[in-house]
Amino acid sequence: MNGLSAILAPSRFGGDDPAPLYLRLEGAIRDAVAAGTLAPGDALPAERELAAELGISRVTVRKALAGLVAAGLLVQRRGSGTYVAQPPRKVEQPLTRLTSFTEDLRTRGYVPDVRVLSATVAPPTPEEAAVLDLGPDERVSRIARLRLADGVPMAIEAASVPAVHLPDPAAVGLSLYAVLEARGIRVVRATQRLAACNLAAAEAALLEVPVGAAALRIERVARLADGRAAEFTRSFFRGDAYDFVAELDIGA
Amino acid sequence: MNGLSAILAPSRFGGDDPAPLYLRLEGAIRDAVAAGTLAPGDALPAERELAAELGISRVTVRKALAGLVAAGLLVQRRGSGTYVAQPPRKVEQPLTRLTSFTEDLRTRGYVPDVRVLSATVAPPTPEEAAVLDLGPDERVSRIARLRLADGVPMAIEAASVPAVHLPDPAAVGLSLYAVLEARGIRVVRATQRLAACNLAAAEAALLEVPVGAAALRIERVARLADGRAAEFTRSFFRGDAYDFVAELDIGA
DNA sequence: GAGTGGTCTAGACCACCAT
DNA sequence: TGGTGGTCTAGACCACTCA
């Protein structure tokens, strides 16, 4: 017997609230987490136990839990149980400077790390050809990396660079710009597009968040002093772990 | 009889794919939309019909559809049916200038509109008191608005301003800054924090997107020339409808 | 009134994790 | 081995939409 169900029960249950059962259960658990009755790391009663004690079906309990897992409030581990999630530390990043991810994290006291997911050379996709201004007979080097802070996945970065600038993408470790710089390629400015999206299964798995979790999708085109595009990068930053900060001036 | 089920069936069904049924159905529908077999606005077969023709249960069909609704690929209308979503036009906004939402939209060819959700004067919350540097005996004016472009909800804006600057929040229509300016209050710069989040039920309903849809949460603190904070605004921008663009210079 | 999605149930089997 | 979450079923009732 676990007393938690008893704690959850009175708050929104039993009344003649017309809201769906699963939403009432969701709200009750949200309240318990907000009130501290359920602390990060705490295990919830098993689904079957919750269902039995609340007198509702397990499917309904699962629907409530699914909503909270999608919201990042709970974590479910198969074979183990359901737990209150640890709220991650937020990382801040300035939006108006072209900074090194690695240095950025280090100066903020995190231990940066990177995992190279893939490194290939291939003909450009139509999108790459258009953005990087490449002919169909030229080639692009692609490097996909997973960025971590203190061991926690923070972002996926997939960069495309004309192969003439980066013949060996596998040589890239922490910093793409360091490798480019060593070859005399200096990026001086970039245009960044930023939007929110729900993560698909593949990206969610890499970032260790539930499918559908919110992320920032950032597309960056970096250019040389002469205006030629030298890099196209698409990144996915975990929405629950990253804050971007911008200083704005008054517009015209 | 609707031929769509027959079209969906062969692509990933029937094989001994070990993936869960609902994920296979999700993939099949994704493929059909990507291939154009299902075009935006098209109605899908009814849930019961899909279940019957595919020989699976309606609960499983619903789980697959729920994933695609959360991803923004489908729209469900109670009593009517399930439809392929219309991909919305994306609005671009520069991130490095403090611009007027209304003017911004107008110059881009949209018809801007606003709905005032609430306008109140009240004692500050602890958060407002800290950010706006208010004493507990001072008061804040709050104005919550829904921004629309061509009639489509784009963003929710909840602004808090010291009441001495804005005695009558109900007087604010399209532009908060215009009202402030008329009283001689000139905002000259702002700090903006930007993160991705999954929308809760209340915000999702206002923006007419499914619960859990990705949004940009932007918190802005605007300041006067003397550095005093004059405005604190928290906004939620639809992730599927808004792109923020920033020009970056090379960092130190 | 017929059809649709929204909710809910009771029960089943599986894969996985812990002990 | 026993408990956990993950998947799936067949059937039910409701509220809503649309003709």
Q: Which helix (H) or strand (E) element contains residue A247?
A: strand A242-250
Average pLDDT rounded to a whole number, residues B185-208: 87
Helices marked H in chain B: 4-12, 21-35, 47-54, 58-70, 101-107, 126-132, 176-182, 201-207
A 88-127 residues inside an 8 A Cβ radius of B: 90, 92, 95-100
**Nucleotides of strand C under 7 angstroms from a protein beta carbon:** 3-12, 15-18
State which residue has its Cα closest to the C1' atom of C10.
Answer: A57
Cβ of residue A63 lies below 7 Å from strand C = yes
Average pLDDT rounded to a whole number, residues B144-149: 91
3-state secondary structure of A97: strand
Average pLDDT rounded to a whole number, residues A236-247: 84
| pLDDT tens profile B127-143 | 999 999 888 889 999 99
Cβ of residue A62 lies below 7 Å from strand C = no
B237-CA/C13-C1' distance, Å: 44
Record: contact A251-B213, CB cut-off 8 A: no
Assess contact for B95 and B54: CB atoms under 8 A.
Answer: no
State which residue has its Cα closest to the C1' atom of D5.
Answer: A78
Assess contact for A105 and A149: CB atoms under 8 A.
Answer: yes
Q: Does the beta carbon of A34 lie under 8 angstroms from any beta carbon of chain B?
A: no
Q: Which residues of A touch B244 (CB under 8 A)?
A: 193-195
| pLDDT tens profile B50-64 | 888 888 899 999 999
Record: contact A96-B246, CB cut-off 8 A: yes
Q: Which residues of B touch A252 (CB under 8 A)?
A: 97
Q: What does the pLDDT read at residue B3? A: 47
Question: Which of A73, A177, A194 to mutate: most B Cβ within 10 Å?
Answer: A194
Q: What does the pLDDT read at residue A3? A: 47
Closest CA to B177 of B231, B214, B107: B231
3-state secondary structure of A231: strand
A 194-233 residues inside an 8 A Cβ radius of B: 194-198, 200, 211-216, 220
Q: Does the beta carbon of B244 lie under 8 angstroms from any beta carbon of chain A?
A: yes
Average pLDDT rounded to a whole number, residues A196-214: 89
Distance of alpha carbon A239 from alpha carbon B239, whole angstroms: 12
The per-residue pLDDT of chain A, averaged, comes to 84
Cβ of residue A18 lies below 7 Å from strand C = no
At residue A193, does pLDDT exceed 80? yes
Record: contact B196-A212, CB cut-off 8 A: no
The neighbouring-strand residues paired with B71 are: none
> Going from the N-terminus, what domains does chain A have, and what CATH number goes with each?
3-84 (1.10.10.10), 91-245 (3.40.1410.10)
3-state secondary structure of A31: helix
3-state secondary structure of A49: helix
Cβ of residue B59 lies below 7 Å from strand C = yes
Q: What does the pLDDT read at residue B95? A: 66
Measured between CA atoms, the residue of chain B closest to residue A190 is B248
Q: Which helix (H) or strand (E) element contains residue B115?
A: strand B112-122
Compute the nearest-CA separation of A1 from chain B (Å): 31
At residue A190, what are phi and psi to the nearest 5 degrees? -150, 155
Q: What does the H/E/C string look like for B187-213?
A: EEEEEEEEEEEECCHHHHHHHCCCCCC
Q: Where are the beta strands (DSSP E) in A14-123?
A: 74-77, 81-84, 91-94, 97-98, 112-122
Record: contact A239-B196, CB cut-off 8 A: yes
Closest CA to B21 of B30, B12, B33: B12
Q: Which helix (H) or strand (E) element contains residue A248?
A: strand A242-250
Assess contact for B112 and B148: CB atoms under 8 A.
Answer: yes
> Whose C1' is closest to the CA of B44: which nucleotide?
C4
Record: contact A187-B250, CB cut-off 8 A: yes
Distance of alpha carbon B45 from alpha carbon B37, whole angstroms: 13
Angle of helix B58-70 versus helix B21-35 axis, rounded to 10: 50
Whether pTM exceeds 0.75: yes
**Nucleotides of strand D under 7 angstroms from a protein beta carbon:** 2-12, 15-18
Record: contact A188-B212, CB cut-off 8 A: no
Q: Assign A83 a pLDDT band (cuts: 50, 70, 90).
A: very high
Name which residue leads in pLDDT, B21 or B159.
B159
Distance of alpha carbon B204 from alpha carbon A88, whole angstroms: 24
The per-residue pLDDT of chain B, averaged, comes to 84
Burial (Cβ within 10 Å: 0-12, 13-18, ≥19) of residue A184 = exposed
Distance of alpha carbon A72 from alpha carbon A205, whole angstroms: 14
| pLDDT tens profile B62-92 | 999 998 988 888 989 888 899 998 877 667 7
Q: Which residues of A touch B71 (CB under 8 A)?
A: 198, 200, 212
Q: Assign A96 a pLDDT band (cuts: 50, 70, 90).
A: low
> Whose C1' is closest to the CA of A61: which nucleotide?
C8
Q: Which residues contact A129 (CB under 8 A, 6 or more apart)?
A: A135, A136
Distance of alpha carbon A215 from alpha carbon A197, whole angstroms: 5
| pLDDT tens profile B149-196 | 888 888 999 999 999 999 999 888 778 888 888 888 888 888 888 889
A55 phi-psi bin (left φ>0, alpha ψ -120 to 50, beta other): left
Closest CA to B242 of B145, B101, B134: B101
